[in-house]
Amino acid sequence: MIKGYLDRIEDKQFAVILAEEIRKEFIIPVKDLPAGSKEKSYFEITIENDKIISMKLDEQTTQTQQENVDDMMAKLRSRSKGSKFKKN
């Protein structure tokens, strides 16, 4: 199994899954996503013949990755001193 990431949903019909380990993008019908899936979710996926044959929501990785993003954003915000331009 490899990790997959729900990058985006297009036209409310198709889910774009990125599998970074193998540098591939898969487009599947939204109806085939596991319950509880949303953009930025991670999955454990099984691929055969260049098609996803099974997919399980990986809630632990999803939560961990979101916490990492939140931490980075907080650090960036704390460094910001505001605009360098003066208002008149």
**Count of CB atoms within 10 A of residue 86's CB?**
5
**Strand positions, DSSP E, 11-66:** 14-19, 24-29, 42-48, 51-57
Tens digit of each residue's pLDDT (9 = 90 or more) over 12-44? 999 999 998 999 999 999 999 999 999 999 999
> What whole-number distance in Å separates Cα of residue 75 and Cα of residue 71?
6
Query: Domain residues of the chain, as ranges?
Result: 2-60
Q: Give me the pLDDT at residue 14, please.
A: 97
Per-residue model confidence as pLDDT tens digits over 52-84: 999 999 999 999 999 998 899 988 888 766 666
